[in-house]
Amino acid sequence: MTEKEKMLNQMLYDANYDKGLLKEREIAKDLCYEFNQARPSETEKQAVVLRKLLGKTGESFCITAPFWCDYGYNIELGENFYANHNLVILDGAKITFGDNVFIAPNCGFYTAGHPIDSDRRNQGLEYAYSITVGNNVWIGAGVHVMPGVNIGSNVVIGGGSVVVKDIPDNCVAVGNPCKVVRPITDKDKETCFDR
C-alpha cells in the first residue's frame, strides 16, 4: 500500500519523506501561490486556479486571498461558499463543505494530526481524518476545526472556537473546546446579534 493510500484510508502514513506526497503538496502550494498573487480584481483568474486546485466546487464560490492548502483535491465546496482572508485547509483527508457556508477570517480546518508518542511522530508519521461541514453554516473568525469533526447544518460556530467534537444541527456553539450553548430558534429572526 502506498503512503497516499494509507493517508486516504485514515492510517498512519509518512507525510514528511514520501516523494509522491511531497510532489503533490508542492503542486498544490504552487497553485495556492498563483491564486494568492493574483490581483483582487482578477476574479476569473482566481476562479480558474481554484477549479484546477480543488476537488469540487459549486457554480458560485469565493475565497479571499490568502488561502493555503496541502493537496486541494480532497476539498469539496458546496454552492455559495465564501471564505474570508487567511483560510488554511490541511486536507490529507476529505473536507466537505455544504451549501451556503460562510467562513470568517483566520480560520483553519485540519484533517492532519500526529501520534502522541514522540518515536512515531519523529519518524514523520501522521494521520488524516475527514471533516464535514453541513449546509447554512457560519464559522466565526479565528475558528479551528480539528481532525474527524462533523459540523451539522444550520450551525453558527462562535469566533475563536476550537472544534474538537461533532456539533449537531440547528445550534450555536462556542468555546475552547467548542460546546453547544443554545439552539437556533425563530426568535433569532428578530435580532442580528445575541450576546
Supply the CATH number for residue 157's domain: 2.160.10.10
d(CA 13, CA 9): 10
Task: Give the up-direction half-sphere exposure of residue 121: CA atoms within 13 A in the CB hemisphere.
Answer: 7
Residue 192 located in a structural domain: no
Per residue in 12-68, pLDDT tens?
999 989 999 999 999 999 999 999 999 999 999 999 999 999 999 999 999 999 999
Nearby residues of 114 by Cβ (< 8 Å), 6 or more positions away: 121, 125, 126, 127
**Residue 188: predicted pLDDT:** 81
**Residue 185: predicted pLDDT:** 85
Residue 195 located in a structural domain: no
Total residues belonging to the chain: 195
C-alpha distances (whole Å) from 183 to each of 84, 101, 113, 124 are: 26, 18, 31, 42
Residue 194 located in a structural domain: no
Contact (Cβ atoms closer than 8 angstroms) between residue 141 and residue 105: yes
Residue 98 located in a structural domain: yes
> What is the rounded average pLDDT for all residues in the chain?
95
Domain that holds residue 110: 3-185
**Residue 52: predicted pLDDT:** 98
Which position among 79, 114, 153, 180 bears the catalytic label? 114
Q: What is the CA radius of gyration of the chain?
A: 17
**Residue 187: predicted pLDDT:** 85
Closest CA to 64 of 117, 99, 21, 107: 107
**Residue 183: predicted pLDDT:** 85
Residue 114 is among the residues annotated as catalytic for this protein: yes
Identify residue 51 by its one-letter amino acid code.
Answer: R
Check whether 93 has a pLDDT greater than 80. yes
d(CA 184, CA 126): 37
The neighbour count for residue 194, using CB atoms within 10 Å, is 10
- Find cell 462556542 and name the residue: 174
Per residue in 124-149, pLDDT tens?
899 999 999 999 999 999 999 999 99
Structural domain count, the chain = 1
Higher pLDDT: 192 or 84? It is 84
Check whether 194 has a pLDDT greater than 60. no
Task: Give the up-direction half-sphere exposure of residue 51: CA atoms within 13 A in the CB hemisphere.
Answer: 10
**Residue 191: predicted pLDDT:** 74
